[in-house]
């Protein structure tokens, strides 16, 4: 298979041939159908976020299940049979550490100790090896900028066949982050008023989720009129161009806001 390899900051990515990745127990081999480019990927490429190299970045993926690792439990195989459409999460929780057991998978000890610190999966090994010389290539999350990737089952969800691969790729990152910000960090409830400051990928998701959660007022704040126009279509009841007016004072005119989200 082929994948896009990051070698060092300032050097272009190169397409390289790899041995086909082999999933282990509890892992699935996914044929990548779409992969977004997150700003955290760009931080790695620019050298602003230290990470092992060479590596394959990309963690906003959708794809199709093509294989299961040996000794993968039957319940996982039944949940994700071959041919299933899936979406991946950028945080790949182990399910067993102190934080995962508490339901705080975003703080998973194994994910940060192995994947973010070493570029590997939970056993301390990558699943990517160059065909030319067999050397290892590290994985930023699942290393989605490749034709295939290995993903722990804990980091996958079934994607309904009615949802397109490309548009759904951000579900496991931008939308995932927005959901956590509203549900867990802000503890938003129906009837709350919400102000979203910055309506890029995460902010746009916040607007939609706030509306779905029953916010009484959803205020979008940005400095670009075109983004604010789009925000209206995503559920914003009010918009503020912070380059032209005092955002705080304008929000006070609209509503007594309970939730502010800076994205």
- Asked if 75 and 146 sit in the same domain, the reply is yes
pLDDT at position 258 is 59
**pLDDT value at residue 256:** 65
Statement to judge: residues 66 and 141 lie in one domain = yes
- Please report which confidence band the pLDDT of residue 184 belongs to, taking 50, 70 and 90 as the band edges: confident
The domain that holds 211 is classified in CATH as 3.40.50.720
**How much is the pLDDT for 58?**
98
Mean local confidence (pLDDT), 104-117: 95
Does the structure show a pLDDT above 80 at 261?
no
Cis peptide before 22 (omega within 30 of 0): no
Check whether residue 8 and residue 116 sit in a common domain: yes
Number of structural domains found in the chain: 2
Q: Are residues 106 and 124 in the same domain?
A: yes
CATH number at residue 98: 3.90.180.10
Q: Mark whether 13 and 73 lie in a shared domain.
A: yes
103, 137, 169 - which closes a domain: 169
- Helices 225-233 and 201-212 cross at an angle (nearest 10°) of 30
The whole-model pTM stands at 0.88
Can you say whether the dihedral through the CA atoms of 59, 223, 236, 193 is positive or negative?
Answer: positive
Residue-range definition of the domain harbouring residue 77: 2-169
Distance CA 157, CA 170 (A): 13
- Least Cα distance to 186 among 176, 178, 174 occurs for 178
pLDDT of residue 254: 86
Question: Is the CB of residue 68 less than 8 Å from the CB of residue 151?
Answer: no
Percent of residues in the chain assigned helix, strand, coil, to nearest 5: 30, 25, 40
> Same domain for 29 and 57?
yes
Q: How confident is the model at residue 260 (pLDDT cuts 50, 70, 90)?
A: low
Note whether 9 and 115 are same-domain residues: yes
Rounded Cα–Cα distance for residues 164 and 156 (Å): 16
């Amino acid at each position: 298979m082929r994948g896009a390899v990051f070698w060092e900051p300032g050097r272009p990515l190169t397409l390289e041939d790899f041995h086909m990745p082999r999933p282990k127990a509890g892992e699935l081999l996914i044929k990548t159908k779409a992969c977004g480019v997150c700003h955290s990927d760009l931080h790695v490429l620019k050298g602003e976020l230290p990470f092992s190299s060479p590596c394959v970045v990309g963690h906003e993926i959708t794809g199709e299940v093509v294989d299961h690792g040996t000794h993968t439990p039957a319940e996982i195989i039944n949940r994700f049979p071959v041919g299933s459409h899936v979406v991946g999460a950028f945080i790949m929780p182990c399910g067993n550490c102190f934080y995962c057991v508490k339901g705080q998978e975003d703080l998973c000890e194994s994910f940060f100790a192995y994947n973010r610190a070493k570029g590997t999966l939970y056993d301390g090994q990558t699943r990517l090896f160059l065909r030319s010389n067999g050397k290892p290539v590290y994985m930023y999350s699942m290393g989605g900028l490749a034709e295939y990737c290995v993903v722990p089952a804990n980091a996958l969800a079934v994607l309904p066949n009615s949802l397109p691969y490309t548009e759904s790729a951000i579900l496991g990152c931008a939308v995932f982050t927005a959901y956590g910000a509203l549900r867990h960090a802000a503890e938003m409830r129906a009837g709350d008023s919400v102000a979203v400051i910055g309506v890029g990928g995460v902010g746009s998701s916040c607007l939609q989720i706030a509306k779905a959660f029953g916010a009484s007022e959803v205020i979008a704040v940005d400095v670009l009129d075109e983004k604010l126009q789009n925000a209206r279509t995503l559920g914003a009841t009010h918009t503020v161009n912070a380059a032209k007016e005092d955002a705080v004072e304008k929000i006070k005119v609209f509503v007594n806001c309970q939730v502010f989200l800076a994205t």
